[in-house]
């Protein structure tokens, strides 16, 4: 579901949005971003800085080099025990991949009993997402997780690219024995792309979910048993003369989000298994809905043999007409900005002297460590630990105090201006809106909601 993807990046987008109070500029399939705000974010707004990082949509940005180049795949195995303090804060991250392999937006907590990370979704919140700082092109990605549960609560594990390609696992809390798989090519909605795999209760049991993504096929496996295979050659579209197959460098995301929130479109709520109950037992103890991430492995494969290479460290798009496999090159271009005024067009913008750079990087480092401190807790018993975490942790404290005023302004501004009403309706129970235009409108609604939410959390 495209809307899943929108939600995933909602918080990331919002917090960068919140930092800016000037008038917003929108972007979509018919309207690209202007040069001074060249990056089109996931939620359809133009800007610089975080707008140009992992949620940056290369298709609707000013030019194909406006988004920051994407850090190249690096094989890794991450155990998420005692890990929350090692995560980067997506609000302030400027692309230094030596600082963090994973970013969070929302609220994460350590869960020592299961040597895992909790992604929390407190009452009325928009949930939490963690994202890799590097992309995969191509590769095998597996995650050992326990999903959330109950109607209206969605857990997702996806690969997502700046060209709108997507390979998904989606877990609907109302049906814990059915795992939904899906894929998108450039955000094109096709209801026939979805398929289910059966397994045992995904809330009670850790399972290992794997997406093994090759140039010409992808498999979805649960506990090493292949449940679905998609061949690229089955996706050929003779109208566009191209394969509608996910084929561009993709980040890894895991999230929990409230598909069944009463303010969502009816189709989304139906797909989510009904309205979410914000007074469920989980909301009082441990204090939130949650998903549990124990381990994520990434194994990188070689890029396509025909790829253009002028370096070894980043993926870039070389064409503004198409965003296909053939339009990717590997370079040594900068992946990091000096300030949040930067973009792919000028990553060093705002860095006047080397001392300014040092100051700005130490500022973000300190705000990062304060958030880390606030989100890491040791635990003794499962329930008890979560309760402790719930009462004492808040990611919004990670934003520096000087940004509070801006948040106020942004929050009240967007409360009056959401254009979301009815934007993402769909009669088939699948929530995705039919086109990018509707997605953008949806995004605005979500953005507004998330601003409020980010403020509440």
Ligand X SMILES: *[C@@H]1O[C@H](CO)[C@@H](O)[C@H](O)[C@H]1NC(C)=O
Contacting positions for ligand X (CB under 6 A): 26, 28-31, 77, 96, 98-99, 124-126, 142-144, 172, 175, 178, 180, 188, 190, 192, 194-196, 208, 231, 233-235, 237, 239-240, 258, 261-263, 295, 297, 310-311, 331-332, 336, 361, 437, 440, 449, 452-453
Indicate left, alpha or beta for 101 from its phi (over 0: left) and psi (-120 to 50: alpha): alpha
Active-site annotation holds for 170: yes
CB 87 within 8 A of CB 99: no
Q: Cβ 381 to ligand X, closest distance in Å?
A: 25
Q: Cβ 311 to ligand X, closest distance in Å?
A: 6
Q: Cβ 105 to ligand X, closest distance in Å?
A: 13
For residues 269 and 264, what is the distance between their CA atoms, to the nearest angstrom? 6
Q: Cβ 376 to ligand X, closest distance in Å?
A: 18
Tell me how crowded residue 205 is: count the other CB atoms within 10 A of its CB.
12
Q: Cβ 285 to ligand X, closest distance in Å?
A: 21
> 362 exposed, middle or buried (CB, 10 Å; 0-12, 13-18, 19+)?
exposed
Q: Cβ 399 to ligand X, closest distance in Å?
A: 18
Burial 308-332 (b: 16+ CB within 10 A, else e): eeeeeebbbbeebebbbbebbbbbe
For residues 43 and 40, what is the distance between their CA atoms, to the nearest angstrom? 8
Closer Cβ to ligand X, 19 or 336, answer by number: 336
Closer Cβ to ligand X, 194 or 370, answer by number: 194
What H or E segment, with its residue span, contains residue 131? strand 128-136
For residues 400 and 279, what is the distance between their CA atoms, to the nearest angstrom? 31
What are residue 47's phi and psi, to 5 degrees? 180, -165
Q: Cβ 234 to ligand X, closest distance in Å?
A: 5
Q: Cβ 174 to ligand X, closest distance in Å?
A: 7
**C-alpha 248, offset from chain centre:** 16
Q: Where are the beta strands (DSSP E) in 305-410?
A: 308-310, 314-317, 328-331
Closer Cβ to ligand X, 251 or 377, answer by number: 251
Active-site annotation holds for 99: no
Tokens read off for 263: 């303010």
Closer Cβ to ligand X, 96 or 397, answer by number: 96
What are residue 120's phi and psi, to 5 degrees? -100, 150
Residue from 455, 103, 76 nearest 253 by CA = 103
Closer Cβ to ligand X, 363 or 392, answer by number: 363
Closer Cβ to ligand X, 196 or 397, answer by number: 196
CB 235 within 8 A of CB 185: yes
For residues 175 and 231, what is the distance between their CA atoms, to the nearest angstrom? 28
Closer Cβ to ligand X, 311 or 384, answer by number: 311
Beta-sheet pairing, 308-310 with 328-331: parallel
For residues 109 and 412, what is the distance between their CA atoms, to the nearest angstrom? 29
Residue tagged active-site, from 45, 99, 166, 295: 166
Residues in the chain: 457
Tell me how crowded residue 96 is: count the other CB atoms within 10 A of its CB.
16
Closer Cβ to ligand X, 124 or 387, answer by number: 124
**Lateral strand order in the sheet of 314-317:** 70-71, 314-317, 328-331, 308-310
- Residues catalogued as catalytic: 166, 170
């Amino acid at each position: 579901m495209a809307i899943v993807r929108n939600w995933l990046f909602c918080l990331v987008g919002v917090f960068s949005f919140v930092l800016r109070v000037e008038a917003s500029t929108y972007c979509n399939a018919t309207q690209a971003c202007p040069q001074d705000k060249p990056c089109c974010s996931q939620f359809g707004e133009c800007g610089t800085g975080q707008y140009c990082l992992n949620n940056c949509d290369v298709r609707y940005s000013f030019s194909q080099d406006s988004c920051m180049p994407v850090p190249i795949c690096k094989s890794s195995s991450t155990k998420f025990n005692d890990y929350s303090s090692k995560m980067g804060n997506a609000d302030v991250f400027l692309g230094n991949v030596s600082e963090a392999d994973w970013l969070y937006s929302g609220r994460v907590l350590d869960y020592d009993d299961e040597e895992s990370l909790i992604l929390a979704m407190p009452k009325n919140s928009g949930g939490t997402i963690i994202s890799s700082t590097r992309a995969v092109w191509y590769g095998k990605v597996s995650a050992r997780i326990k999903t959330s549960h109950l109607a209206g609560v969605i857990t997702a594990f996806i690969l997502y690219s700046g060209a709108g390609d997507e390979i998904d696992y989606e877990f609907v809390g109302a049906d814990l024995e059915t795992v939904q798989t899906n894929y998108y090519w450039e955000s094109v909605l096709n209801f026939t792309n979805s398929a289910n795999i059966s397994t045992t209760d995904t809330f009670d049991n850790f399972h290992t979910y794997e997406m093994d993504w090759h140039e010409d096929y992808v498999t979805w496996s649960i506990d090493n048993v292949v449940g679905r295979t998609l061949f690229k050659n089955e996706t050929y579209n003779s109208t566009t003369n191209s394969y509608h197959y996910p084929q561009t460098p993709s980040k890894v995301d895991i999230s929990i989000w409230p598909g069944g929130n009463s303010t969502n479109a009816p189709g989304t709520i139906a797909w989510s298994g009904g309205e979410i109950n914000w007074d469920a037992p989980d909301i009082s103890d441990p204090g939130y809905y949650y998903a549990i991430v124990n381990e994520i492995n990434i194994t990188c494969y070689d890029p396509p043999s025909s790829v253009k290479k002028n370096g070894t460290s980043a993926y870039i798009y070389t064409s503004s007409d198409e965003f296909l496999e053939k339009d990717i090159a590997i370079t040594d271009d900068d992946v990091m900005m000096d300030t949040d005024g930067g973009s792919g067009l000028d990553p060093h913008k705002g860095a006047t002297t080397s001392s300014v750079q040092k100051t700005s990087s130490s500022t973000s480092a300190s705000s990062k460590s304060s958030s880390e401190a606030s989100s890491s807790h040791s635990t003794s018993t499962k329930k008890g630990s979560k309760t402790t975490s719930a009462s004492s942790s808040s990611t919004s404290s990670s934003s520096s105090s000087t940004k509070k005023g801006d948040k106020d302004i942004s929050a009240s501004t967007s409360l009056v201006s959401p254009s979301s009403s009815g934007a993402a309706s769909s009669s088939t129970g699948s929530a995705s809106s039919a086109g990018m235009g509707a997605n953008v409108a949806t995004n605005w609604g979500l953005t507004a909601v998330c601003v409020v939410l980010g403020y509440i959390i």
